[in-house]
Amino acid sequence: MDSDQLVHLEVANAVATLTLDSPANRNALSRQLIGDLRAQLAAAASHPSVRVAVIRSAGPVFCSGADLREAVADGMEQGARDMVALQRAIVALEVPVLVRLDGPVRAGGLGIVAAADVVVAAESVTFALTEVRLGLAAAAISLTLLPRMSPRGAALTVLSGAPFGAREAVEYGLVTTAVADDAVEGAVASLAAEFAQATRQGAREAKGLLNAELLARIDTHGEQVAAHSARLFASPEARAAMSTFLRR
């Protein structure tokens, strides 16, 4: 395990576990974390024994969203493109991607959740699309978020920025299943064991059918929404709101 990496990979019994481990910023989507996650996804897929990839987090927070310090300092032109590329990597991976949620998810972190094939959340987990409260919009992650969520659920959460729970996330289509906090480990292990029964070709072809429209959406609109996101992050209103947030 490389201590300099923000995402660690372990492979055992056909399961590749990728752990987000950037405690200093609550697993915010820094350029390094996004790059490390993409690299570890590719590494996981390169193992011929792997049948499922599980993304989870170290620490109490799954992901706090965009790295606002980077956004204020350097803008988000490259960061938004990187976020689009990360979602594409998850959607296009040859094996199922299962996200395990033991802690809260905010803003851009929901792009990882929405891009995944299956999501298991502890009942105590909360979600929030807080971009609107910072003069932003859920632009880059809309590529995967909007196809997954019901229109009413998306409108309520995207426009308000208010927190919502795991049961609501299931109702809105964002999460596959919510279980008691002490049942998450077993639920994820059981699903991973089921996925491990598939052949590599079977998983690849089935996932290709399931995600064809989502992948086409990313390829068609990715550059457009990345540019939209970068413009919003660079706007005076958003920069002032982010700076105020960082001073809290």
Beta strand 177-179 pairing with 118-122: parallel
Domains of the chain plus CATH, in order, are: 7-183 (3.90.226.10)
Write out the chain's pLDDT in tens, 248 residues.
556 899 999 999 999 999 999 999 999 999 999 999 999 999 999 999 999 999 999 999 999 999 999 999 999 999 999 999 999 999 999 999 999 999 999 999 999 999 999 999 999 999 999 999 999 999 999 999 999 999 999 999 999 999 999 999 999 999 999 999 999 999 999 999 999 999 999 999 999 999 999 999 999 999 999 999 999 999 999 999 999 999 98
Please give the full DSSP string across 20-57, using - where no structure is assigned.
E--GGGTT-B-HHHHHHHHHHHHHHHHSTT--EEEEEE
Q: How confident is the model at residue 68, as a pLDDT?
A: 96
End-to-end Cα spacing for the chain: 34
Q: Residue 248, Cα to own-chain centre: how many angstroms?
A: 26
Q: How confident is the model at residue 126, as a pLDDT?
A: 98
Beta strand 7-12 pairing with 15-20: antiparallel
Rounded to an integer, what distance in angstroms lies between the CA atom of residue 175 and that of residue 68?
Answer: 26
Amino acid at 40: Q
Rounded to an integer, what distance in angstroms lies between the CA atom of residue 177 and that of residue 131?
Answer: 25
Q: How confident is the model at residue 234, as a pLDDT?
A: 97
46-87 pLDDT, tens digit per residue, is 999 999 999 999 999 999 999 999 999 999 999 999 999 999
Residues in the chain: 248
Rounded to an integer, what distance in angstroms lies between the CA atom of residue 126 and that of residue 46?
Answer: 33
Enter the tokens of residue 28: 């915010």
Q: Are 99 and 112 in contact (CB under 8 A)?
A: yes
10 Å CB burial of residue 9 (0-12, 13-18, 19+) is buried
Q: Are 121 and 101 in contact (CB under 8 A)?
A: yes
Amino acid at 246: L
Q: How confident is the model at residue 2, as a pLDDT?
A: 54
Please name which of 201, 205, 206, 194 lies closest in space to residue 13, comparing C-alpha atoms: 194
Please name which of 87, 93, 98, 112 lies closest in space to residue 27, comparing C-alpha atoms: 112
Does pTM surpass 0.95?
A: yes
Please name which of 189, 187, 157, 188 lies closest in space to residue 171, comparing C-alpha atoms: 157
